[in-house]
């Protein structure tokens, strides 16, 4: 077991050498025992992506160690200070005293020549250099990730076969990557070491910021990194829906180039869904893949787009038409940022939680029914309440359940190799009409989610009782059940066709068949869709506000109307066709 070799080395090292001076002789303390060699071999030769390893740490109730174990796969390439810090995290669940001692030692050698040197460099100057030179030659052939990684966050393997005459070659390629998702409180508190531990070894943090976050938290962010003596390179961008286009992606990439961002250096993105989407897209194409950490500050990003492996930007009046698959190495969902959000932003973000509740998680649905508008009025227990109030406890549980459902659904189909995707509920037709209608994303998907629920009812899959439970939940949270864009036949037909294009010729429309259970419609016709929309309009007209949402438009939330940008794009396209 890997855990045994961790403890053996840590106990031996701390017991014998914790008071050693910080100089070149310290490396001798490392190498002159078999415990270190055994630990290093274990760390660098283990497959940290093996499900058996995950299960081992799950049984130890220590899954928080897994990202550190994966980084330590590249131990030889880490600075010695970073190696000790990562090792201290591995030790912590087994022996807190040892963990503390290793962190102190890591801090002692920080900014020293010894601490800033790569572990392999220090090993090659030790009395055991011959062994490590042979290890390098061995690893060049059989374990290159441990020796010369471009980053510590992904691995790949492949298999090639060819015909006897070499005129036919077949290759299979696999990529392993990982994401850690943490629900955190007060990330920017100087006593919270989470971001400090990610960036201290790099000496700086390249931070992509939403303008709204800069306005509300800019000084707090600067104070945090200044306190920890980490250079902060801030890149501030406005991040409204109209800004979610390829030109801004290109500008961000150019900013990365000017700052000389390294391929192993995780960019920090702080903000909501828009800055997260375009920032992740920029990271994915810079150096063909640059890691990033997402500090999610909006409801949408905290439970949906933040941990998403899909980076994107809008194009041609269609949501998220351009993009790549590039997950964060760490997503931090921090509820404390919700207190500064406009209520309209909280409301539309809740739609993504309703999505997972209706289609996948009955417990979450019941909790949302029970909590009601208090969730929105208190901004998830961050305003107009006390920390001991029940709404705080419920809010934390809602965020946790939402994340669990989303990640379970999303990460089993990382590159969308099939369209059995329950979390695509509400994300088909709406991708075409959201920008045209000027709707906030949450209201756009709400319209489609409730319409899709009605489709399921019409097919006899969803009971009338459950249909109205779903409609009532959305309505009580003041989300949209209806928008007249549904009557635009041309728009609906375009959306229908674009679903087929995006899903490999299938509709695969996810619909609820009971609260928390899902099935897929693949044989819907355009004429059937038109008929359903007409019937649906009559049903939702009986709901409060005749099915209309509260502050459903981007302009209602103080955002620039995306309709103006869409029309501008249309005019450019028309002029190009004329020429």
Same domain flag for 194 and 82: no
CA–CA dist 119, 333 (Å, integer) = 33
CA–CA dist 213, 337 (Å, integer) = 9
The residues, ordered by sequence, that sit 6+ positions from 141 with a Cβ below 8 Å of its Cβ are none
Give how many domains the chain has, as a whole number: 3
- Is the residue at 373 inside a domain? no
Classify residue 100 as exposed, middle or buried by CB count within 10 Å of its CB (0-12, 13-18, 19+): middle
- Is the residue at 97 inside a domain? yes
To the nearest 10°, report the CA torsion of 562, 566, 571, 572. 100
Same domain flag for 132 and 237: no
Same domain flag for 112 and 188: no
Please state whether the predicted TM-score (pTM) of the whole model is above 0.95: no
Same domain flag for 456 and 534: yes
| CATH code for position 556 | 1.20.1090.10
Quick one: tokens of 573? 């396209």
Quick one: tokens of 281? 């897209």
| CATH code for position 189 | 3.40.50.1970
CA torsion sign for 361, 454, 448, 496 is positive
Same domain flag for 68 and 187: no
Same domain flag for 189 and 142: no
CA–CA dist 574, 172 (Å, integer) = 43
Quick one: tokens of 233? 């390179």
- Is the residue at 140 inside a domain? yes
- Is the residue at 365 inside a domain? no
Same domain flag for 202 and 128: no
How would you write the pLDDT of the chain (579 residues) with one tens digit per residue?
A: 676 777 787 777 767 655 666 555 677 777 877 888 888 999 999 888 888 888 888 888 888 889 999 999 999 999 999 999 999 898 888 778 888 888 888 888 888 888 889 999 999 999 999 999 999 999 999 999 999 999 888 888 899 999 999 999 999 988 888 899 999 999 999 999 999 999 998 999 999 999 999 999 999 999 999 999 999 999 999 998 889 999 999 999 999 999 999 999 999 999 999 999 999 999 999 999 999 999 999 999 999 989 999 899 998 888 888 999 999 999 999 999 999 999 999 999 999 999 999 999 999 999 999 999 999 999 999 999 998 999 999 999 999 999 999 999 888 887 888 999 999 999 999 999 999 999 999 999 999 999 999 999 999 999 999 999 999 999 999 999 999 999 999 999 999 999 999 999 999 999 999 999 999 999 999 999 999 999 999 999 999 999 999 999 999 988 888 877 656 555 544 554 544
Strands 310-315 and 292-296: unpaired
Residue the block writes with tokens 């002029």: 575
Locate the DSSP E strands across 282-325: 292-296, 310-315, 318-325
What own/partner pairs with CB < 8 Å and gap ≥ 24 does 253-262 have? 253/282, 253/285, 253/286, 256/206, 256/282, 256/283, 256/286, 256/290, 257/286, 259/206, 259/233, 261/206, 261/286, 261/287, 261/290, 262/202
85 Cα distance to chain centroid: 24
- Is the residue at 392 inside a domain? no
Same domain flag for 420 and 480: yes
- Is the residue at 367 inside a domain? no
DSSP 476-508: HTT--S--GGGG-HHHHHHHHHHHHHHTTT---
Host domain of residue 294: 182-341
- Is the residue at 355 inside a domain? no
Same domain flag for 189 and 145: no
Scored b (16 or more CB within 10 A) or e, 26-41 reads: bbebbbebebbbebbe
- Is the residue at 104 inside a domain? yes
Q: Outline where 289-331 has alpha helix (H).
A: 299-300
Same domain flag for 143 and 190: no
CA–CA dist 411, 331 (Å, integer) = 14
Same domain flag for 186 and 286: yes
Classify residue 358 as exposed, middle or buried by CB count within 10 Å of its CB (0-12, 13-18, 19+): buried
Same domain flag for 231 and 192: yes
């Amino acid at each position: 077991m890997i855990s045994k070799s961790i403890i053996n080395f840590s106990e031996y090292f701390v017991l014998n050498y914790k008071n050693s001076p910080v100089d070149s002789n310290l490396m001798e303390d490392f190498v002159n025992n078999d415990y270190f060699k055994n630990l290093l071999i274990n760390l660098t030769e283990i497959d940290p992506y093996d499900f058996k390893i995950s299960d081992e740490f799950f049984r130890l109730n220590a899954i928080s160690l897994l990202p550190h174990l994966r980084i330590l796969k590249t131990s030889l390439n880490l600075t010695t200070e970073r190696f000790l810090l990562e090792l201290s995290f591995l030790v912590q669940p087994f022996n807190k005293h040892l963990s503390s001692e290793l962190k102190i030692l890591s801090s002692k050698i920080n900014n020293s020549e010894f601490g800033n040197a790569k572990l392999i460099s220090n090993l090659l100057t030790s009395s055991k250099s011959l062994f490590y030179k042979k290890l390098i030659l061995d690893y060049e052939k059989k374990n290159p990730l441990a020796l010369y990684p471009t980053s510590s966050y992904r691995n790949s393997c492949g298999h090639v076969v060819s015909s006897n005459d070499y005129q036919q070659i077949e290759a299979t390629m696999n990529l392993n990557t990982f994401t850690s998702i943490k629900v955190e409180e007060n990330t920017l508190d100087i006593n919270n070491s989470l971001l400090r531990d990610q960036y201290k070894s790099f000496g700086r943090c390249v931070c992509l910021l939403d303008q709204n976050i800069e306005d509300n938290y800019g000084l707090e962010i600067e104070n945090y990194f200044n306190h920890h003596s980490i250079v902060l390179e801030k890149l501030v961008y406005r991040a409204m829906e109209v800004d979610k286009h390829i030109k801004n992606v290109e500008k961000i990439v150019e900013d990365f180039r000017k700052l000389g961002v390294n391929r192993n250096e995780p960019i920090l993105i702080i903000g909501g869904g828009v800055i997260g989407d375009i920032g992740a897209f920029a990271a994915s194409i810079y150096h063909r893949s640059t890691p990033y950490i997402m500090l999610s500050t909006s409801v949408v990003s905290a439970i949906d787009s933040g941990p998403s492996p899909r980076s994107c930007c809008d194009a041609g009046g269609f949501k998220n038409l351009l993009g790549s698959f590039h997950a964060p190495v760490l997503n931090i969902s921090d509820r404390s940022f919700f207190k500064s959000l406009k209520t309209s932003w909280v409301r539309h973000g809740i739609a993504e939680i309703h999505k997972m509740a209706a289609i996948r998680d009955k417990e979450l649905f019941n909790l949302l029914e029970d909590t009601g508008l208090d969730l929105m009025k208190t901004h998830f227990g961050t305003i107009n309440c006390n920390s001991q109030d029940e709404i705080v406890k419920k809010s934390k549980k809602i965020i946790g359940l939402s994340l669990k459902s989303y990640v379970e659904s999303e990460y089993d189909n990382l590159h969308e190799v099939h369209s059995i995707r329950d979390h695509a509920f509400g994300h088909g037709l709406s991708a075409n009409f959201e920008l045209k209608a000027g709707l906030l994303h949450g209201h756009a998907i709400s319209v489609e989610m409730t319409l899709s629920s009605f489709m399921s009812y019409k097919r006899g899959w969803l009971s009338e009782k459950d249909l109205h439970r779903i409609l009532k939940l959305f309505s009580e949270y003041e989300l949209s059940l209806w928008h007249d864009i549904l009557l635009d036949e041309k728009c609906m037909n375009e959306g229908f066709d674009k679903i087929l294009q995006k899903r490999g010729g299938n509709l695969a429309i996810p619909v609820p068949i009971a609260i928390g259970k899902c099935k897929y419609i693949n044989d819907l016709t355009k004429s059937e869709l038109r008929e359903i929309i007409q019937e649906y309009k009559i049903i939702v007209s009986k709901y409060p506000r005749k099915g209309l949402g509260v502050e459903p438009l981007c302009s209602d939330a103080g955002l620039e109307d995306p309709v103006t940008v869409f029309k501008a794009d249309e005019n450019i396209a028309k002029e190009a066709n004329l020429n």
